[in-house]
Structure 1
Amino acid sequence: MITADQLTVTYPFTKEPAMAGFTSRIRSGENVLVIGPSGSGKSTLTLAVQGILPRSVEADVAGELQVDGEIPSHRSIMEAAAKTGVLFQDPDTQFCMAVIRDELAFTMENRAIAQEKMDSRMQSALKAVGMQAHIDTAIHALSGGMKQKAAMASLWCQDPDIWIIDEPMSQLDPAARRSLAECLQVIKQDAEKTLIMIEHQLDEVVELADRLIVMDDRGSVFADGAPRDVLTEHTEAMVSMGIRLPSVTKTAYALLNKHPELFRRMPVTIKQWQEGTRHLPAEIINRVLPVPAGSGRIDDKNIVLEGEKLSFRYKGTKVIDELSCRFYKGEFHAIVGRNGSGKSTLFQLLTGWLKQEQGDVSLFGEKLTRKSMKRIASAIGIVFQQPEHQFIHVTVEKELRHSMEIEGWKEEAIKERVEELLDLFALQHKKMSHPFQLSQGQKRRLSTAVMLTSSQSILLLDEPMFGLDQRNTDALLMILRKLQEEGKTIVMITHDLNVVYSYASRVIAIDEGVVYYEGDTASFFHHPDQIHRAGGVIPACMEMRQEKERLIYV
């Protein structure tokens, strides 16, 4: 049993606790989903329960926390690993070896697992996450999503009593998310295992949970109970806190504003949605569902960035294979594809960070090789998949000031813009914090805010919604839409097909380093085989649309 009473954690050099007054009891064998706004202390709770904090991560811990009657940080590292395993929000932080095979073997060696049992457990773990073919792949060569799969395989080999999964779905394509949900279902069915899931993306995990704990922005427990009961009773409050709801719950809430008699209990699954709305006319339902964004007039004169027959190999393995793509002024482009399909590599080729072995990249009609990195940076802004890669200052404020100071902004204008961005991205209370002290969602918001301090006309974003709650996701998408309307070109890598469906005007779909679809959004969603090839599933907003009306929009 995990018992917490007024658990409060404060990190060094910070005035406010990362979490304050958390009180709860989680019984052995329970399957619990923990949600809350970005920065509410969910990952801090993970570190405390495992004992990493304050054993290895310095922090002031007040209140009480026990796991099976012991203070977790008092356990040795070996004892703690056997009791509680964690899939961290950033998988790079937990790898010790260079190759997947060695990483999994190292995990089992530390658990003193007999050598004759290692191979079968390793194969079982890799099969569970769909990574059998990558057993001898270098970890640093993996995409973000594939690293998450490798980290999950490592946890599978560890086989702890308590599994804590911190945002496991955040960088996975939809098909991989469903596959991971099946893995978690196996763990759930083991009565001796305790499963704690921390997640913003709720569609795949809410049905796995027997219990839902909602944390407020202070890190206290706001609500606790059966998932459907909590969502029914506290929907409005959760929306106001910026917490992401399951897709069907979010749509049902919008529908209830005009039809309060519709649902006695909020739906969390498509089946529950269909049962609650089958008597309603399609036109009423479809008023609250999005339709694909339209595309502007596509003209070769409006091409601002182009890749032509690009090829790239990594240690002999072809990652990009004669790939061609075009990006147009004032369009919102979504790049979709399975984990490891080459999306992030394409971004690095388009910005000159990597050099293709053949093909050309053109920026405003001129070959990229003829432009200096300074000229490229003045035209293209980028948000990396790992936001830490672009932080260079010791405070959030200095990070935001940097580009404006280089561009020669006046001090008064810099201060005004910094304050505006701090408010817009809910970072005002972190103004003097070091960027590395932020939560993953806060780091993502800062990296996006930094991009908006410059005047680039092309903005590339690699999984920008990773770690964001609903409020900050909505704010980011509204900003991007406004920038698009102002004539800027938006290029976003994402696995969230609900966002693609609602915001993107054009889709570029990649599979094994090749573009197999390039065109408008509506046409992409017209063909389910195209969606599935990208590792996607039919977006919930399409599934909720009644069959007779669905055909109009897809």
Structure 2
Amino acid sequence: MSDNGMSLQIKEGETVLLLGPSGSGKSTLALGLCGLIPHAVAGKMSGVVRIAGLDTRETEPGELARVVGTVFQYPDAQTVMMTVEDEIAFGLENIGVPRVEMEKRIREALKTVGLTVQGNQPVDQLSGGQKQRLTLSSVLAMEPDVLVLDEPTANLDPAGTAEVFHTLRRLKASGHYTIVLIEHKLDDLVDLVDRVIVIDKNGELVCSGAPESIFYDWAAELESLGVWFPQAVEIARKLQLAGVPIESKVLSMKQLAEALRGFEHSPRVGGEWNDAQEKSPDTSELDVTSTALHSHSSPPLLDIRPVGPPGRSAGWLRPIELQVRRGEFWAIVGENGAGKTTLARHIIGLLPVRPGVIFIDGNDAAVYPVYELARRIGFVFQNPEHQFVTERVWDEIAFSLKGMGLPEEEISTRVNHLLERFGLKGYADAHPFCLSHGQK
């Protein structure tokens, strides 16, 4: 946060959404609310943070955990035990919950977040999304009054995201929780929110108010900060600029549909839109056809061939056929735990695969040297911290370029260009682990 800091009060039972650009201090605020700042995270702190009347500087995080539960972006940083049941029980044991009550809370917490795994399931065998649900269930089992959720659905599939937000709706409706949300999936949660708080890149308060006021009356300020909007708000504002008389400040697609009801037959809206459609040639079909013809005429750059019996693990892929040609853009989707990350790890050689299964540009990937696969395939993990190998942002970007044997001058040019492109120029000498999640 900035030297000026900010003054903020959150009422009991309120659900607050905290927005701000990457590096603005959203996660830092979350760490302050649960007492990890100043007790566990080093840094300079001035001012006072009180949760349910408790001064976080004078109350240990273990004691604060009875009052405030926190779910962080990285589930790996929050799990400490070997199995699912032990992970949820860990916090309960530390606050002295009786064993009989503990078993009941564990069952209810797993059911609440929709995590359908055995209690003895090893935590390290869960997918990223399953781990995120586990951390949320661990917090809910302790029954805190305040929930601080730092992008709790970052690693969840759409179904998992919907389940978590459905859970939050039930928790909110119970009236027992005060909720502070840091989240970017605004369309799924905007109906939950009582108030939106926006901070700038220095961690200073920009505005605070009802969602309708923030997303419409402060739209210019939010755009300048690079803060996300709900899709319904973006569409409504663009329609208003195009002359469509939408008077209400809609927040959801359902509200937008209601606001537009009856406009489809109006002469101005319908007529002008139809005229524009007639005047503008539709080239989308030509583009798609052209791309398809071009792609199918060339050999696949990535070719996965179905081989081996299903169900085998090391060295095997379940029978799957996939051909990706140069220039194509694919999305691999599936529920949490389906094997998307496992497939990616096989492709890049982090997991073994038998010869004759994966081919890169016509060559068997099983016989590629690791350095050659790394040169041909770039990979970004779910948790960027798993990729950091240096102690300086500049060196981190330069690391692989040096491994490729590029001249120092070219390395410097590339690194500086990328720092500028991704808004990291001012962090060249910072430690990668000191960056915000978005910056990482």
Q: Same fold (TM over 0.5)?
A: yes
Check whether the contact 1:313–1:357 (CA below 8 A) recurs between aligned residues: no
Match of 1:83 among 67, 76, 82: 67
Q: CA deviation at 1:299?
A: 2.0
Residue 254 of structure 2 is aligned to residue 276 of structure 1 = no
Q: CA deviation at 1:22?
A: 2.0
Q: CA deviation at 1:330?
A: 0.6
Give the unaligned 5+ runs of structure 1: 1-7, 9-16, 444-554
Spell out the pairing of 1:4-19 with structure 2 (5 A cutoff): 8=1, 17=2
Q: Deviations over 1:15-51 (max 9, x none)?
A: xx5x852221101111111111111100000000111
Match of 1:388 among 382, 385, 388: 385
Residue 35 of structure 2 is aligned to residue 51 of structure 1 = yes
Which residue of structure 2 lines up, in the alignment, with residue 449 of structure 1? Answer: none
Q: CA deviation at 1:150?
A: 0.9
Q: In the aligned structure 2, how far is the partner of 1:296 from the partner of 1:395?
A: 43
Which residue of structure 2 lines up, in the alignment, with residue 144 of structure 1? Answer: 128
Q: CA deviation at 1:64?
A: 2.6
Check whether the contact 2:23–2:439 (CA below 8 A) recurs between aligned residues: yes
Residue 436 of structure 2 is aligned to residue 439 of structure 1 = yes
Answer with 1 or 2: which has the greater Rg: 2
> Matched residue pairs, number?
423
Secondary structure in structure 2 of the residue aligned to 1:63? coil
Q: Deviations over 1:239-267 (max 9, x none)?
A: 221111111112222223322x6333432
Give the unaligned 5+ runs of structure 2: 278-283
Q: Relative to structure 1, is the Cα distance of residues 266 and 87 closer, same or farther in structure 2, using a 3 angstrom cutoff?
A: same
Q: In the aligned structure 2, how far is the partner of 1:318 from the partner of 1:164?
A: 41
Q: Relative to structure 1, is the Cα distance of residues 393 and 154 closer, same or farther in structure 2, using a 3 angstrom cutoff?
A: same
Match of 1:104 among 78, 88, 101: 88
Q: In the aligned structure 2, how far is the partner of 1:410 from the partner of 1:428?
A: 21
Q: In the aligned structure 2, how far is the partner of 1:400 from the partner of 1:316?
A: 34
Q: In the aligned structure 2, how far is the partner of 1:262 from the partner of 1:407?
A: 57
Q: Relative to structure 1, is the Cα distance of residues 207 and 358 closer, same or farther in structure 2, using a 3 angstrom cutoff?
A: farther
Spell out the pairing of 1:92-491 with structure 2 (5 A cutoff): 92-259=76-243, 262-278=245-261, 279-280=263-264, 281=269, 284=273, 294=288, 295-297=291-293, 298-299=295-296, 301-309=298-306, 321-356=318-353, 360-443=357-440
Q: Which range moved further: 395-404 or 317-326?
A: 317-326
Q: CA deviation at 1:110?
A: 1.4
Q: In the aligned structure 1, how far is the partner of 2:29 from the partner of 2:100?
A: 36
Check whether the contact 1:145–1:173 (CA below 8 A) recurs between aligned residues: yes
Which residue of structure 2 lines up, in the alignment, with residue 452 of structure 1? Answer: none
Check whether the contact 2:52–2:67 (CA below 8 A) recurs between aligned residues: no
Secondary structure in structure 2 of the residue aligned to 1:203? helix
Check whether the contact 2:113–2:167 (CA below 8 A) recurs between aligned residues: yes
Structure with greater strand percent = 1
Q: Relative to structure 1, is the Cα distance of residues 338 and 394 closer, same or farther in structure 2, using a 3 angstrom cutoff?
A: same
Q: CA deviation at 1:119?
A: 2.0
Q: Relative to structure 1, is the Cα distance of residues 320 and 99 closer, same or farther in structure 2, using a 3 angstrom cutoff?
A: farther
Secondary structure in structure 1 of the residue aligned to 2:65? helix
Q: CA deviation at 1:300?
A: 6.3
Q: In the aligned structure 1, how far is the partner of 2:308 from the partner of 2:206?
A: 51
Secondary structure in structure 2 of the residue aligned to 1:40? coil
Task: Specify the code of the residue in structure 2 equivalent to 1:234.
Answer: W
Check whether the contact 1:296–1:331 (CA below 8 A) recurs between aligned residues: no
Secondary structure in structure 2 of the residue aligned to 1:146? helix
Task: Specify the code of the residue in structure 1 equivalent to 2:327.
Answer: G
Residue 20 of structure 2 is aligned to residue 23 of structure 1 = no
Check whether the contact 1:312–1:318 (CA below 8 A) recurs between aligned residues: no
Q: Relative to structure 1, is the Cα distance of residues 58 and 341 closer, same or farther in structure 2, using a 3 angstrom cutoff?
A: same
Q: Relative to structure 1, is the Cα distance of residues 347 and 190 closer, same or farther in structure 2, using a 3 angstrom cutoff?
A: same
Q: Relative to structure 1, is the Cα distance of residues 402 and 313 closer, same or farther in structure 2, using a 3 angstrom cutoff?
A: farther
Q: In the aligned structure 1, how far is the partner of 2:254 from the partner of 2:434?
A: 42
Q: Deviations over 1:111-143 (max 9, x none)?
A: 211111122211111111111334322111111
Q: Relative to structure 1, is the Cα distance of residues 411 and 318 closer, same or farther in structure 2, using a 3 angstrom cutoff?
A: closer
Q: CA deviation at 1:73?
A: 3.0
Q: In the aligned structure 1, how far is the partner of 2:220 from the partner of 2:167?
A: 32
Give the TM-score of the pair, scaled to structure 1: 0.72
Task: Specify the code of the residue in structure 2 equivalent to 1:228.
Answer: E
Task: Specify the code of the residue in structure 2 equivalent to 1:341.
Answer: A
Task: Specify the code of the residue in structure 2 equivalent to 1:104.
Answer: I
Q: In the aligned structure 2, how far is the partner of 1:221 from the partner of 1:422?
A: 27
Secondary structure in structure 1 of the residue aligned to 2:319? strand
Q: In the aligned structure 2, how far is the partner of 1:95 from the partner of 1:20?
A: 34
Q: In the aligned structure 2, how far is the partner of 1:142 from the partner of 1:205?
A: 26
Task: Specify the code of the residue in structure 1 equivalent to 2:292.
Answer: G
Check whether the contact 2:355–2:367 (CA below 8 A) recurs between aligned residues: no
Give the TM-score of the pair, scaled to structure 2: 0.90
Q: In the aligned structure 1, how far is the partner of 2:389 from the partner of 2:113?
A: 35
Which residue of structure 2 lines up, in the alignment, with residue 463 of structure 1? Answer: none
Task: Specify the code of the residue in structure 2 equivalent to 1:152.
Answer: L
Q: CA deviation at 1:358?
A: 8.5
Task: Specify the code of the residue in structure 2 equivalent to 1:213.
Answer: I
Q: Which range moved further: 380-389 or 52-61?
A: 380-389
Q: Relative to structure 1, is the Cα distance of residues 239 and 340 closer, same or farther in structure 2, using a 3 angstrom cutoff?
A: same
Check whether the contact 1:108–1:158 (CA below 8 A) recurs between aligned residues: yes
Q: In the aligned structure 1, how far is the partner of 2:260 from the partner of 2:308?
A: 49
Q: Deviations over 1:327-384 (max 9, x none)?
A: 1101111111111110000001111111136861111111112211111111111111
Task: Specify the code of the residue in structure 1 equivalent to 2:330.
Answer: H
Q: CA deviation at 1:186?
A: 1.6
